[in-house]
Amino acid sequence: MEKRIVFATGNQNKMTEIRMILEDLGMPIYSMNELHIDTDIVEDGISFEENAEIKARAVARLLPHDIVLADDSGLEIDYLDGAPGIYSSRFAGEDTSYDIKNRIFLDKLEGVPEEERTARFVCAIAAVFPDGNVETVRGTIEGQIAHEIAGENGFGYDPIFYVPEYGCTTAEMDPEKKNALSHRGNALRAMRKIIEEKYKKDEVEDESV
Ligand code: ITT
């Protein structure tokens, strides 16, 4: 049976970034929406890794023959003791626009000097394989909270996430550039390697039977 990757996310922006990196594997990639899977997942873990695993396991129960992946990610602002962290999408309410959420953080950091505006995006990706194995990886990107909203690309907190080395926010980068540097890009490349290794090994074992 052809191996498929199913990504347990309802976030279309994540899917675009995921496809750019995982398409090299040569396996078909589906989002759970494309397979009409609509399951209520309670993300009650206390870390990005735990929540990624909760999402992947919930969908893997419905699709036991597929490689099911999930991403849990967010923004950690050091000046706010790591907030919003695992609550990044729930911060100020799921239905509040990111324009408003971003302005709230700019206000909270008003007058805070450069060296105290450090922040990072974190992305944990969990994979549940048809043999029951579970793997988790983490990627990060370091930056700062900008002084104003800038850029139209990306999603979520990208317009306030400034990367000093590049002199712009992740919302001002083209998608390829963001993926080359980002927390999700790094985590996806690590997971792509795990999947490649695993199926290379399985093929060798299959051939020796
Ligand atoms: P799924 O759970 O369905 O995957 P979600 O959007 O709810 O989608 P998370 O629970 O992982 O995803 O929340 C991640 C939030 O963190 C996301 O909604 C953004 O607000 C923020 N975030 C994560 N990665 C980001 C990125 O690359 N750029 C900007 N904001 C990001």
Question: Within its chain, how far is the Cα of 170 from the centroid?
Answer: 14
Average pLDDT over residues 165-174: 98
Pairing verdict, β 67-77 and 118-128: antiparallel
Reply yes or no on whether the pLDDT at 94 is more than 70: yes
Residue 178 and residue 156 in contact, taking contact as beta carbons nearer than 8 Å: no
> Tokens in use for 154?
């990306």
- Picking from 195, 199, 179, the residue whose alpha carbon sits closest to that of residue 19 is 179
The set of residues, in sequence order, having a beta carbon less than 8 Å from that of 148 and lying 6+ positions away, is 106
Does the beta carbon of 157 lie inside 6 Å of ligand 1? yes
Indicate which residues carry an active-site annotation.
Answer: 72
| Banded model confidence at residue 2, pLDDT cuts 50, 70, 90 | confident
Reply yes or no on whether the pLDDT at 18 is more than 60: yes
pTM score of the predicted model? 0.95
Does the beta carbon of 169 lie inside 6 Å of ligand 1? no
Atom 21, ligand 1: which residue's CA is nearest? 74
Report the distance separating Cα 65 and Cα 75, nearest Å: 33
- Which of 6, 7, 11, 120 has most ligand 1 atoms within 8 Å of CB, for mutation? 11
Reply yes or no on whether the pLDDT at 87 is more than 90: yes
Tell how far the Cα of 13 is from the centroid of ligand 1, in angstroms: 9
| Average pLDDT taken over every residue of the chain | 95
Does the beta carbon of 158 lie inside 6 Å of ligand 1? yes
> Tokens in use for 184?
């999700």
- Picking from 145, 149, 132, 19, the residue whose alpha carbon sits closest to that of residue 71 is 19
The set of residues, in sequence order, having a beta carbon less than 8 Å from that of 155 and lying 6+ positions away, is 11, 13, 98
Encode pLDDT of 21-53 as tens digits: 999 999 999 999 999 998 889 999 999 999 999
Report the distance separating Cα 76 and Cα 178, nearest Å: 18
| Banded model confidence at residue 209, pLDDT cuts 50, 70, 90 | low
Tell how far the Cα of 14 is from the centroid of ligand 1, in angstroms: 8
Q: Ligand 1, closest atom to CA 101?
A: 20
